[in-house]
Amino acid sequence: MKYNLCTISFRHELVSFRELLRYAFDTGFNGIELWGVHAKALLRQRGQELGGMLDEMFSYGLDISMLSDYIPLMGNLPMDVLLKEWQDTVQAAKAFHTNKLRIFAGSLSSQSLDEKDWELCTERLKFLCTVAEREGVYTVVETHPGTAADGLDSTLQLLRQTSHPALKLNLDFLHMWESGADPLAAYERLKPWMVNIHLKNVEARQWLEVFSPDNIYSPSGSRRGIVALADGEMDCQAIMKRLILDPTQAPVALEWFGANPFQILKSELGWLKGLESGLKPEKVEVTGT
């Protein structure tokens, strides 16, 4: 399996992109999931300097697996302004040689959307997909609370109602589990669209609010409840067993929002690779669907 480093894990660290590349290579990651904030900061550098960094990345055998950004899908922006913002974001993805551009499906939960809202959401999403597809870029929606893709049924509705071949899915297992869905059952249903996986865990359901954007992006936000993959309430080991037994082209990206990302991510990657090397398909039993 392929494991990628999310640069958002270092959002509050004083570290350069080159340092992250070296760390990813030395630690054993296969690629980089680049946060949009970081991508835009890097693009403000001179082209020659950015080109040198990308050449260095390629020399390590790494790539940018996906650019993770945001777009006001359901906002009040005029369509020409939204189009310009989206075109710029697509070009940013191309500048980093990735064909996957992750966004959220709006900023309202699926239960708050009426029929007209769903129509607006899916028509705009189809429009974005068409624009990005012309540039060879997939539009990737993430399963996330507070969006139209906040559970299994809502995500399936979004994918099917949009019905565009360039629309893909980033399956965040924790957020799917948070919705009350069985993450393994969701995986089976969503596999046809899935091109990326996010893994993180939480000590108990009572601490899930720690991952709300307002808290997690704040340097002074709480980190209570954020734990290693093996130590949380969601059964990451069962998920990994299924992924190992059912090989997928979708890479696993590690999202760590707590302290000490250098040390923790190295440990997390070691745990994942240990599971993979220690499992033999004929001896593994996976329960539940």
CA-to-CA separations, 106 to 33, 113, 145, 211, 214, in angstroms, rounded: 21, 11, 10, 17, 16
Residue 38 among the catalytic residues = no
CB contact at 8 A, 68 and 98: no
Using DSSP's 3-state secondary structure scheme, residue 176 falls into: helix
Q: Which of 12, 38, 97, 144 is catalytic?
A: 144
Count the Cβ atoms, other than its own, within 10 Å of residue 235: 17
Indicate left, alpha or beta for 136 from its phi (over 0: left) and psi (-120 to 50: alpha): left
Indicate left, alpha or beta for 150 from its phi (over 0: left) and psi (-120 to 50: alpha): alpha
Active site residues: 144
